[in-house]
Every structure is written in C-alpha cells, then in structure tokens.
Amino acid sequence: MRRFSFHPCGNYRENYAQELTIFETDYGRISMCIFLLLLFFATPFLVSSYMLYVINTIGIAAIAAIGLNILVGYTGQISLGHGAFFGVGAYAAAVLATRFGVGFYLAIPAAGVVTALVGMIFGIPSGRLKGLYLTIATLAGQFIIEYVLVHWDSVTQGTMGITLPSPRILQWEVVGDRPFFFMIFVSLVAMTWFAVNIMRSKYGRAFIAIRDNDRAAEGMGIPIFKYKLLSFAISSFYAGFAGALWAYYMVSVTAEPFNLGLSVEYIAMVIIGGMGNIPGAIFGATFITLLNELLRYITGLLMNLGFITSSGLNMAPLREFVFGLAIVLFILFEPRGIAELWRIVRSSFRLWPFSY
Amino acid sequence: MDFFLQLLVNGVCIGLLYGISAMGFVMIFKSSSVLNFAHGELLALGAFFFLALITWANLPIFAAFVLTLIGCFLLGFLIERFFLRPLIGEKLIFVIMLTVGLAAMFKGMILFVWGGDLHNYPKFLPAFLALRWGSIYIAPVYTATLMISLVFLVLFGLFFKKSSQGIYMRSVADNQKAALSLGVHVRRVFALSWAIAALVASMSGIVLGIINGVNVHDLSSIGLKVFPVVILGGLDSISGAIIGGIIIGLLETFTGGYLSPSLRDVVPYIVLVFILLVKPYGLFGLVEIERV
C-alpha cells in the first residue's frame, strides 16, 4: 500500500497531469469522502425540517450558480438573464409533467435541454457583442423571457400558474423535504462532478482562453462563437435543471420569482463565492441563501418588538440594503470571494507555524 | 387622426422624459465607461431630497431646488470617492455589480425612510405653460421638460466643446492612459463626472416626480428603461440620448395605442436586441475599433 500524501509545503508539481488533479493529496480525497458521507447519511436525519428546507434551497441555488459560474467566471460572458433561464426550466418541467405526463426523471433533464436551447438563442448576440453590450443584450433577454412567461397564456397559464404532480418512482411518491434532499443533492454532486471535469477538458481550456483574451484565443484557432454558444448552452442547462427541481419542490410555478432580482442574486452568488471557481459557486449559494433566511428572521423579530411597531418603522427594506452592502463589501475588499478566504484559512493552517 | 396626433404628442413627451433621465447615465459612461445600474436610484434620491425639503423643511421651491442640486452634486462626489475609485482598472463585471449593489443599498435606504408609497409634490408650475392646440393638450410640466432638456443640451454641448474640464472628460473617455500622460487629472475628472451626473439625475428625478408622483419602484424601473434609450442613441452621445428617448417613447405609446397595452413595456427591449445585432454602437455613438 502506498503512503498517504499530505499537503506539501511548496509547489512540487512536475508535469501537467499533476497540475490538473482535482485533489492535490489523499488527505483532500479522504476529507471529501467523509464530508459526503456526513452530508448524505447524517444531515437529513439530524436537522429540523425547516433547516432541511433551507439546505434544499441552497442545493438548488448551488446548481444554478455553478452554471452561471461556467458562463461568467470561466468564459467571461456576463449574463443578467440567469433568473429567467431558471424560470424557463421550471415552466418546461411543469408543462412536460402536466401536459405530456412525463415522469420526473425525464422531465428534469428535458427541461434542462429546453433551457439550453433557449439559452443558445439568447447567446447568439455574443457572436457580435462583448463586454457591456452583451450584458445589456442579456438584460433585454431577461425582460423578454419574463414577458413571454406571463403572457403566453395557452402554455404557461399566465398569472394563474401551474401545479405539478408529485414525482413518483414506481409506486412510491416523492413528497416532503427528506426525499427531495436526496434528489437535489445527488443531482448537485453529479452536476459539480461534471462541471469540475469539463473545466479540465479541451472545452474548459477554450472557455478560459476566451475569457482571458478573446482575440488571442481566436488567433490560436479556437472558434470563439461556437464555444461562447456552448458555454451559454451549458450554463442554461444548469439553470434549467435547477429550475425544474425547484418547480417540483415548490409544487406550483408562477412567473413572479423569475425577475431581474433573481438574476442579480445569482451573479451575487458567483461574485461572493469566487469567480472561476466551482466550489466557490456553492459557497456563494450558501452565503446568499443563508443571508436571505437570516434577514427574514431578523426582520420578523424586529417587527414584533414593541417600540419599533409603535414608532411605525418599517424593517422590510433592511433585506434589500444588507444584500446590496454584502455585494459592495465583497467587491471592494475580497473580489475573489469566499473561495479565496477559504484558501487563505487553509494555507495558514498548512504552513503553520512558519506562515511566510 | 386626432388619436394619432395625441399619441404622437404623448410619445414625444414621454420620450423627452426618457431622454432627460438618460442624460446623467450618458455623462458617467462618457467619462468613465461605467455602466451605472444605480441610475434609477439616483433619480429617486434626487426626487426624495426635493420632497423632503419642500414638505418637511417647508423651504420655498427655488431654494429647495438649488439645495437638492447641491446635495446630489456632493453625493455623486462621495459615491465616486468611496465606491468607484478603488475599482479603476478592475474587471467590467465588478464595476457593473458594484453599481447593482449600490442600487440595492439606495433602494433599501429610500424604502426605509420614505416607504414604498406614492408621494406627491404640491403644485407649483404656472398654468400658462400648458399648450392647447385643437383637441391636443400638453400639460405644463411637459413644456417645462422640453425647455429644461433644451437648456441642458446646449449647456452640455458647450461644456464638452469649450470648457477645459469638458475637454479633459472627453480625453479621458477616449484614452485613459494617454490623458494621464498628458497631465490630465483623471481622478478629478471621474469625481466631477459622477457629481455632474448625480446632479442631472436628481433634476430628472424631480421632473419625473412632478409628472407621475414620487415612488421608488417607478423611478428605479425608469433606471432600467434607460438602457434601450442609450443603446439606440449611442452610449456616449448626449444628443443621442434625447433622440433615442423620443424614438423609444413614440414606440411605446404607439404599440400601447394600436397593438396591445401589455406589449408596451417589453417593446423597447425587443428593439434593443435588434439594434445591438444590427448597429451596436447606436445612431450617434462612437464606433470602437479594436486592433490587434
């Protein structure tokens, strides 16, 4: 049996394959296994059902945020339409499940594929535009999709919304937080695995080349339009997949939540978590979701305090303010996000006591 | 025919409002290439300052107006100093998201202080500004808007053509490094452009408030309506902003009047996508040519 390797004190990589490894050391591999075991076999049975609901929402947000990170963090194309794509996925799953009676195991990936196609349509402007012009084009995409979701009555039932049947495996209905926990987190692990590996392939390298310098990438023979479209497709596939999971989890779908605010929240997750970093997207999703829940709790608490209700102060805007403040502070003080903080903490442990 | 004419007049009036709201946005972009997502909130801040000064402090209209302009000038200065200066030379997404974050912060603050209700200014515009021509009626505030936007157009035109600060701003917008090496104080130019933009924004906020009443949600959604306007007119052209505004305003009222009222809000964005695909630099924008 070979010896376990622990963290080296410097960079001892000798070839490209070593550079590409996901886990630098066995130590990392073991701790990841322990984490996954704890996640799947301890968490759903120990925490309260409210906490489980929060964890599930984090899982769904993390899938969508990973998708957006592929587009924004790795390919460098800023999209303000991710919330709308999430909505397209939710509606696609709802329509497939109610109109065509498709089972959830097929409806969820199919919703992802439908969203990928929609994403590619809205990715077409990236052939001619880049930078802030592309951002404005995706902003327009957000409004157009939102309009279609509300006004295409024959398919989306307008403001009434669609109610989904609960997913069933053979005779067994998937209802409640715990079964959904497994559904969401198995998908999250699979999607993370896929994203990490696609970034180690030819496609991932092409994305990074486009982000770093698109003209140089084109000069090196990368067909940039094709790869940009591919990146839009992958990222919207993730959004659509997450949206479909969300639709099943929430049971009914209306167009309200898929507004510009949701798109901004996803970009905030990517930035706060760390751009161009897959675990970063998960950190960001956790941070923003927990922040939302915490602020909801605090505002609820403050509303019930006697002297605040009597003085007529409204505490609801606190959420908006703190959300904006979090984005601004992260951009000003740690633009590389929580992933970078996490790296600093880890390396300070590793290098202790000679941390220079 | 009367219906058509009334739509035409309404469209031009609304368009002028869009144009005047877009001017501050263009100012910022022209000198610092920052896409300001907090523009709607700047409009709202100006409108609410004015509201506070005339209703709570009971100042005369003129004094309140001047004080609001001064206050917003300083506010623009502070925003640049504390939030945007650290980001000079950073990636585009950070700058964009910073303004998005600022927008959320400002909106939260305004909601905290004034709430989400509709407030109204006391009426103060003289009635002789109203125009009536046959069956077509133009409210006094639109005449005032037309006059204000013309005055600002001329002022800004002169400012950018003649004054040394205006020429500095244009040079910084054109090439930051070259301007820096020729001795232009780039940071001062940025600060000044944010201050002027906040001033213009507050003024347009007040005009919008006179017409529709003061409400955070309405004013911040105008901040997003600005995008089709500036893309159509060209991101760095102030007269383009006015013309783009009028075209978008006409488009909105005509779709609202002849096709369907619900389509009205989304038409500008559909047009926006087509403009971006066909002529990304707009009608009057400067075409950026990249050389390898």
Q: Do A215 and A86 contact (CB within 8 A), yes or no?
A: no
Cβ atoms within 10 A of the Cβ of A252, count?
A: 11
Which of A224, A259, A328, A329 should be substituted to probe chain B, the one whose Cβ sees the most B Cβ atoms within 10 Å? A328
Q: What are the DSSP E strand ranges found in chain B?
A: 131-133, 136-138
Q: Do B41 and B226 contact (CB within 8 A), yes or no?
A: no
Both tokens of residue B108?
């939260």
Q: Do B205 and B119 contact (CB within 8 A), yes or no?
A: no
Q: Which domain holds residue A141?
A: 54-351
CA distance B234 to B226: 12
Flag if B101 and A125 touch (Cβ within 8 Å): no
CA–CA distances in Å: residue A5 to residues A16, A21, A32, B57, B277: 19, 14, 15, 71, 54
User: Would A13 be classed as within a structural domain?
Assistant: no
Question: What local confidence, expressed as pLDDT, does residue A313 receive?
Answer: 60
Q: What is the pLDDT along chain A (356 residues), one digit of tens a residue?
A: 566 666 666 677 788 877 777 777 777 788 889 999 998 888 888 888 889 999 999 999 999 999 999 999 999 999 999 999 999 999 999 999 888 888 888 899 999 999 999 999 999 888 888 788 899 999 999 999 999 988 887 777 777 778 887 777 766 777 778 888 998 999 999 999 999 999 989 999 999 999 998 889 999 999 999 999 999 999 999 999 999 999 999 888 888 889 898 999 999 999 999 988 899 999 999 999 999 999 888 887 877 776 665 555 666 788 888 999 999 999 999 888 898 898 888 888 777 777 66
Flag if B35 and A129 touch (Cβ within 8 Å): no
CA distance B236 to B34: 11
Which of A144, A212, A321, A330 should be substituted to probe chain B, the one whose Cβ sees the most B Cβ atoms within 10 Å? A321
Give helix then strand counts, H and E, for chain A: 17, 4
User: What chain A residue is nearest to B225 in terms of C-alpha separation?
Assistant: A140
CA distance B92 to B27: 18
Cβ atoms within 10 A of the Cβ of A261, count?
A: 12
User: Would A226 be classed as within a structural domain?
Assistant: yes
Alpha-carbon A92 to chain mean position: 18
Both tokens of residue B2?
């009367």
User: Would A344 be classed as within a structural domain?
Assistant: yes
Which residue has 């006004």 as its token pair? A151
Q: Do A60 and A245 contact (CB within 8 A), yes or no?
A: yes
Nearest CB to B108 within list A128, A140, A320: A320
pLDDT of B127 above 90: no
* Close Cβ partners of B250 (under 8 Å, ≥ 6 residues apart): B8, B11, B12, B15
CA distance A21 to A28: 11
Nearest CB to A318 within list B100, B108, B115: B108
User: Would A136 be classed as within a structural domain?
Assistant: yes
Q: Do B47 and B214 contact (CB within 8 A), yes or no?
A: yes
Which of A332, A334, A336 should be substituted to probe chain B, the one whose Cβ sees the most B Cβ atoms within 10 Å? A332
Q: Is the pTM of this model over 0.80?
A: yes
Question: What local confidence, expressed as pLDDT, does residue A14 receive?
Answer: 81
Flag if B292 and A219 touch (Cβ within 8 Å): yes
Structural domain count of chain A: 1
User: Would A19 be classed as within a structural domain?
Assistant: no
Which residue has 């442990």 as its token pair? A349
- Nearest CA to B205 out of B69, B63, B111 is that of B69
- Chain B: closest CA distance from residue A171 (Å): 45
CATH of the domain at A219: 1.10.3470
Q: Which amino acid is at A77?
A: Q
**Contact residues on chain A for B104, CB-CB shorter than 8 A:** 264, 320-321, 323-324, 327
Burial of B200 (0-12, 13-18, 19+ CB in 10 A): buried
CA distance B168 to B188: 10
Question: What local confidence, expressed as pLDDT, does residue A58 receive?
Answer: 95
Q: Which residues of B touch A (CB under 8 A)?
A: 35, 83, 86-87, 90, 92-94, 96-98, 100-112, 115, 224, 227-228, 231, 262, 265-266, 269-270, 272-273, 276-277, 280, 290, 292
- Chain A: closest CA distance from residue B111 (Å): 6
Q: What is the DSSP letter of A163?
A: E
Residues paired with residue A252 on neighbouring β-strands, in sequence order: A163
Question: What local confidence, expressed as pLDDT, does residue A7 receive?
Answer: 67
Cβ atoms within 10 A of the Cβ of A334, count?
A: 16
Nearest CB to B102 within list A132, A139, A324: A324
User: What chain A residue is nearest to B84 in terms of C-alpha separation?
Assistant: A332
Query: Strand A168-169 and strand B131-133: pairing?
Result: unpaired
**Contact residues on chain B for A268, CB-CB shorter than 8 A:** 97, 100-101
User: What chain A residue is nearest to B93 in terms of C-alpha separation?
Assistant: A78
pLDDT tens, position by position, B42-84: 999 999 999 989 888 888 888 888 999 999 999 999 999 999 8
- Nearest CA to A335 out of B99, B95, B80, B94 is that of B94
- Nearest CA to B28 out of B226, B211, B179, B161 is that of B226
User: What chain A residue is nearest to B105 in terms of C-alpha separation?
Assistant: A321
- Nearest CA to B155 out of B3, B40, B20 is that of B20
Residues paired with residue B119 on neighbouring β-strands, in sequence order: B214
Q: What is the DSSP letter of B87?
A: G
**Contact residues on chain B for A139, CB-CB shorter than 8 A:** 224, 227, 269
**Length of chain B in residues, anyone?**
292
Nearest CB to A321 within list B108, B231, B269: B108
User: Would A36 be classed as within a structural domain?
Assistant: no
Least confident of A245-254, A307-316, B100-109, B159-168: A307-316
CA angle A351, A354, A355 (to 5 degrees): 60
Confidence of residue B2 (pLDDT cuts 50, 70, 90): confident
- The more confident residue out of B27 and A351 is B27
CA distance A38 to A56: 16
Burial of A49 (0-12, 13-18, 19+ CB in 10 A): exposed
